[in-house]
Amino acid sequence: MSDISKSESYAAAGVDITAGYRSVELMKASIKRTMTAGVASDIGGFGGLFSLDTAKYKNPILVSGTDGVGTKIKLAFLMDKHDTVGIDCVAMCVNDIICSGAAPLFFLDYIACGKNVPEKIAAIVSGVAEGCVQSGCALIGGETAEHPGLMPEDEYDLAGFSVGVVDRDAVIDNKQMKAGDVMIALPSTGVHSNGFSLVRKVFDIDNADLHSPRAELGGKSLGETLLTPTRIYVKSILALLEKVKVSGITHITGGGFYENMPRSIPDGLAVEIKKSDVRVLPIFDLIAKTGNIPERDMYNTFNMGVGMCVVVAEEDVDTALASLRASGDDAYVIGKIVESKNGERVTLL
């Protein structure tokens, strides 16, 4: 970029315009990895253009989702590792969209930072691009905003927005769910991107040893375990939808089992789960033990090792499990849909 774009006065106020241009140049290779057939614009314009293949759908419904990474981003600061939180950002959006049966089309990110360090911004966007590749959507735009005086120079925040599409007749809306259906769990990769305010308090994260291997975490460090990116389930679910009829999908995010599972279960029904059937990951045992957190609070805050659940008819369980496992998810039966008692929607036995 030529000197015509440089502003000494703006730089004196703490905003380096040329750093923004440098960031864009550095991230272009990552963005290129995400390009799909529908992309109709280059990075750098005022808006990202996408051409919807309307011939593919009888009655297309657009489904949108937006989210951020939350205070997990503090771990990225402490570990000085910035190339994975972008995966989390994409995951939190597209994992919501897929719950309606919608395939993500495109994604846009927003990064606010105290100081634009081009290499750091490019690392963040490389994670965003990886998340887009994993979910099959295109990164068609974004924004990096330098906010001197509003946030520390070495900190940033990250949020995103995605749009997907599904045919109206294929929307998953739980209307076909019935007692006797079976809930299948798709394992999480860890804490994912929810509950980190409690995690940080439990481990006194600013003063914790984040780098030493820990036997209770399978030899991984606390920092590595907590920073593990959120699993993206889009391709697994899309493949499953081609095999069986799915009557409900739940993304287990903030609020854990108790708040999220009812969102995909209709009135009059509930899910019954044996706690002994839940494959709880070691990190959650460590959180509960270290923080002396009651069991119900754990299940009402964290995913406990279950990142997503799908509900299918009993006769389709074997086919569903085979499909999900073929996609790389070690899926297993976690519960059964039953008639609701006393208005309860989730029963942990």
Give pLDDT tens digits for 61-98: 999 999 999 999 999 999 999 999 999 999 999 999 99
Q: Any idea which residue has 């907590």 for tokens?
A: 226
At 292, is the secondary structure helix, strand, or coil? Answer: coil
Sort strands 103-113 and 138-146 into parallel, antiparallel or unpaired: parallel
How far, in Å, are 70, 85, 189, 206 from residue 75 at the CA level?
11, 9, 16, 9
CA-CA distance, 319 to 337, in Å (whole number)? 18
Mean pLDDT of 237-256: 97
13 has pLDDT over 60: no
Q: Are 101 and 95 in contact (CB under 8 A)?
A: no
The answer for residues whose C-beta is within 8 angstroms of residue 187's C-beta and 6 or more apart is: 231, 279, 281, 305, 306, 307, 329, 330, 331
Taking the alpha carbons at both ends of the chain, their separation in whole angstroms is 63
More confident residue, 105 or 34: 105
List helix spans (H) across 98-246. Answer: 118-135, 196-203, 222-227, 234-241
- Residue 338: the pLDDT is 96
- Residue 1: the pLDDT is 43
**Tens-digit pLDDT profile for residues 264-323:** 999 999 999 999 999 999 999 999 999 999 999 999 999 999 999 999 999 999 999 999
2 has pLDDT over 60: no
Query: Lowest mean pLDDT: which of 9-13, 243-247, 258-262?
Result: 9-13
Q: Any idea which residue has 């309307």 for tokens?
A: 54
- Residue 23: the pLDDT is 77
- Residue 11: the pLDDT is 62
- Tell me how far apart the 2 most distant CA atoms of the chain are, in Å: 70
Which percentage of the chain shows pLDDT scores above 90? 81
Going by C-alpha positions, the residue among 333, 193, 310 that lies closest to residue 250 is 310
